[in-house]
Amino acid sequence: MKVDVDYKKDVYTRAQELVSELGEKLGRVPTAAVITFGCQMNARDSEKLIGILKVAGFSIIEEESADFVLYNTCTVRDNANQKVYGHLGIANGFKKKNPLMRIGLCGCMMQEPTVIEKIKHSYRFVNLIFGTHNIHKFPEYLVSCLEQDDMIIDIWKEGTEIEENLPVERKYSFKSGVNIMFGCNNFCSYCIVPYVRGRERSRDAKEIVRECEKLASEGVVEVMLLGQNVNSYGKGLENGISFPELLKEIEKIEGIKRIRFMTSHPKDLSEELIQVMKESKKICRHLHLPLQSGSTKLLKRMNRCYDKEQYIALAKHIREEIPDIALTTDLIVGFPGETPEDVDDTIDVIKQVEYDNAFTFIYSKRTGTPAASYEDQVPEAESHVQFNRVLEVVQEMARKRAAVYEGQIMEALIEEMNENDPSLVSGRLSNNMIVHFPGDESMIGSIVKVKLNECKGFYYLGEKVD
C-alpha cells in the first residue's frame, strides 16, 4: 500500500505555527538535530526526518544541544543500544538547562519491547518514541510533541504502508540513497532485522524511477539503491519486475552516471544480475556479498541457505565474468558453536575469494533471535582471539587487491575536501576505494580521471589527469 503524504499540508502548517511560537519564547530560530546510528537505510530515513523538521521551520544543526533532538537508532548489535543510552544521558543534561527542549527516539531499537520499558522507567525525560514502520507519521508526532511535554509512544508491530513524497534534506547534492524496498524475509538466526524492520515490501518500480529522474534533474549523478536484500526486489508486487530489470530502467536515466546498491544476499544473486552488471556502463564495479562465516556447519545454523562451496563458486564466477569488480563482505566471528576449525574455514574463503575489504564483527547476542538461546555461546576472550586472526587475513588481502590498481587511471567522484590536508580532495572510485589528490572545493560533485600514484593499503594518493 502506497501512502502519499501531500494531504498533510494542514499538519505542516500547524507544525510551523508551533515552531514559530517556540521561537518567540526562545528569542531566536529554534534548532533541531537528527543523530543517526547504523546503516545506509537509517541514513536515508534521517534525510527524510530532517526534511520534515526543516519544512516545520527548524534550523538544522548537528549538535545535541538542539531544541529538538531526534535519535534515529540501530539495534543490530548490543553496543549500538548502549551508545544510544549514553547519548540520552548527554541530551538530558542539555534539557535540564533548556526546559523547552524536546527529545525523540525512532528507528530499529524502538521496535524492541524491552527497550521501550527501559526508556519508560529510566529515561522519563524523553518526549517522543516511534519505530521503523511509521516514519510518515512524524509530522503528526512532531505537532503533538510541541503541544505537550508528556511522553508520546507509537510503535507499530508491522508495516504495510510505503511512504512517498516525504520532504527530504539530502546530505550531499550530487549523490543520494534511494529506498527500493523495506524489511527482510530471511530470518538469519543471529539477526534481529526481520523483527524490527518487518516483512519485505517493495516499492513500485515507476515510483523508484520517478524519484531517480527527479534526483537527476536536481544534479545528482550517483544513486545508491537500498534494501535489506535487493536481490529479492519485486517479489509480491503485481506486475513486478526483477532487480536486474530495475537496474536497466534506472540506467536509462540521463544525468545518472553511477548506480550502486546494498545489500545482496548470496542465495538470491542471479545470473541475470551478473550479466547486467557486466554489460552496464553505469553500475559501479563493487558488489557487497555478505559471507558471515566460511563454515558450512555454521552457515546452516545461521540459516544462510548456502554452503561454503556454493559461495566460493559464486564469488569466483562473478570475478570471472567481471574481472575488475571489487568484492566486499560481512564476517561474524564468535557465533555460537564456532571452533578454531570453523574460523579456519572462514580464513580459507577469504584467501580464495580475495576480498577487497570486509566488515568484521564479533557476534552480538540479540534477544529474540534463535541464536540468542543457543547454549554453546563462545566465550568473549576466545572470540577476540579468533577475530584478530580473521582481521589480519582480511587486511592482508585488502592490501594485495588495492595494490593491483597502482599506476592506473580511473574515474573518481569527488565527494569532499580532505579532512587532514586542505590542499587535497577525496574521491571515490567505481570500486568504492578512496583516492586523495590535489584539488579545491569547486570540484566537489564532479567525476574526474585520476592517476593512482601510490597505494597506501586502504586508499590511494593520486593526481588529476586530463
Strand order in the sheet with 286-288: 286-288, 326-333, 357-362
Q: What are phi and psi of 293, to 5 degrees?
A: -155, 150
Q: Which of 466, 417, 409 is nearest to 439 (CA)?
A: 417
Same domain, 190 and 258: yes
Summarize the confidence of residues 388-414 as an average pLDDT: 96
- pLDDT score at 236: 81
Q: What is the pLDDT of residue 160?
A: 63
Specify the 3-state DSSP secondary structure of 270: coil
**Are 184 and 143 contained in the same domain?**
no
Assess if residue 161 is contained within a domain: no
Provide the percentage of residues in the chain whose pLDDT is more than 70: 97
Last residue of a domain, one of 122, 154, 186: 154
> Please, what's the b/e burial string for 339-377 (b: 16 or more CB within 10 A of its CB; e: otherwise)?
eeebbebbbebbeebbbbbbebbbbbbbeebebeebeeb
Q: Are residues 97 and 132 in the same domain?
A: yes
Are 276 and 329 part of one and the same domain? yes
Do residues 259 and 355 share a domain?
A: yes
CATH number at residue 114: 3.40.50.12160
Which residues have C-beta within 8 Å of that of residue 456, sequence separation ≥ 6?
none
pLDDT per residue over 118-155, tens digit each?
A: 999 999 999 999 998 888 899 999 999 999 888 999 99
Which pLDDT score is estimated for 51?
Answer: 95
**Domain ends where: 126, 154, 182?**
154
Note the pTM of the prediction, 2 decimals.
Answer: 0.87
Asked if the structure places residue 160 within a domain, the reply is no
SS3 128: strand
Q: Looking at the domain assignment, is residue 163 inside a domain?
A: no
pLDDT the model gives residue 238: 81
Q: Judge if 249 and 385 occupy the same domain.
A: yes
Q: Which domain holds residue 430?
A: 409-465
Question: Mean pLDDT over residues 333-354, rounded?
Answer: 98
- 164 pLDDT exceeds 80? no
Q: Is there a domain that residue 120 lies in? A: yes
SS3 label, residue 461: strand
374 and 415 inside one domain: no
Query: Does any domain span residue 66?
Result: yes
Does residue 390 contact residue 361 with C-beta atoms inside 8 Å?
Answer: no
CATH number of the domain at 453, please.
2.40.50.140
**Residue 260 domain-assigned (yes or no):** yes
Does one domain contain both 444 and 399?
A: no
Buried b (16+ CB within 10 A) or exposed e, 188-218: bbbbbbbbbbbebbbbbbeebbebbbebbee
- Residue 256 resides in a domain: yes
Residue 26, φ and ψ in degrees, nearest 5? -80, -25
Query: What pLDDT is attached to residue 2?
Result: 38
Question: What CA–CA distance (Å, rounded) separates 142 from 54?
Answer: 12
φ, ψ for residue 346, nearest 5 deg: -60, -45
Q: What's the CA gap between 1 and 439, in Å, rounded? A: 47
How large a percentage of the chain has pLDDT more than 90?
84
- Residue 291 and residue 415 share a domain: no
**Are 226 and 364 part of one and the same domain?**
yes
Residues 237 and 352 in one domain: yes
Q: How far is CA 424 from the centre of its chain?
A: 27
Asked whether residue 397 is domain-assigned, the answer is yes
Indicate if 134 and 269 belong to the same structural domain. Answer: no
Find the CATH number of the domain harbouring 205: 3.80.30.20
Q: How many domains does the chain contain in total? A: 3
- Rounded to an integer, what is the distance from CA 333 to the centroid of its chain? 21
The confidence score (pLDDT) of residue 162 equals 65
Specify the range with the lowest mean pLDDT, choosing from 3-12, 40-49, 368-377, 397-406. Answer: 3-12
pLDDT (average), residues 373-385: 96
Q: How far apart are the first and last CA of the chain?
A: 49
Minimal CA–CA distance to 443: which of 461, 416, 463? 416
Q: Among 357, 384, 403, which residue terminates a domain?
A: 403
